[in-house]
Structure 1
């Protein structure tokens, strides 16, 4: 043993201080078409043409929403139309579960935090069309 050693424990002091932890989760939705709706190339149209349309919607978990499709750039007289450079038209419809899909007839969902896919159809009815390259632009509208 050393002379003058001490066996007493050293008392430590402590303090506590709180701090806040926070986070804001903002209600949000994004949507996109899963590729363009391409009907293809034809020489003679002998029956209506149907193609699958897929829309992806991603909303904050638990947020109710509605997905509608705009009329398109060449809409007239209650009809969606694709237009050619020559000013000719091809009519078409967009549907979800065999019902019209537009801004008055929407599809509902509740956000899951990841993509939710809605599969619809584009349909070109049997008609006598002029030749040309036809196109239109349709807006996806998500209301939440």
Structure 2
């Protein structure tokens, strides 16, 4: 029987520039679905998806962050964070990053990686391979 993960690690694929924004200070990820209770407290690999959220580049909140790099990594893990909590939006909570009508995934202890680690992400919360975890740990 394999040893259980301690602590568990999951990946979350996020469109650019939102994945980069997490490395630059965004502490809430907005989703249409609630985090499973068993995933609160997990270590989260912040993965930049291949396709950008084009409208996000004009979002005023992005402009409050430090200057965006001229090229944003895609298809790669950019940071490690702790998934601290999740709650439905409640009257403007989690400003400025929480969107109305969304579940607010609270991120803490965000640590950008010194360099992106190329990897194929997935929908929902995904379990990273042992090889990916080794690459991330080596940085």
TM-score w.r.t. length of structure 2: 0.28
Bigger helix share:
2
Higher gyration radius (CA): 1
TM-score w.r.t. length of structure 1: 0.27
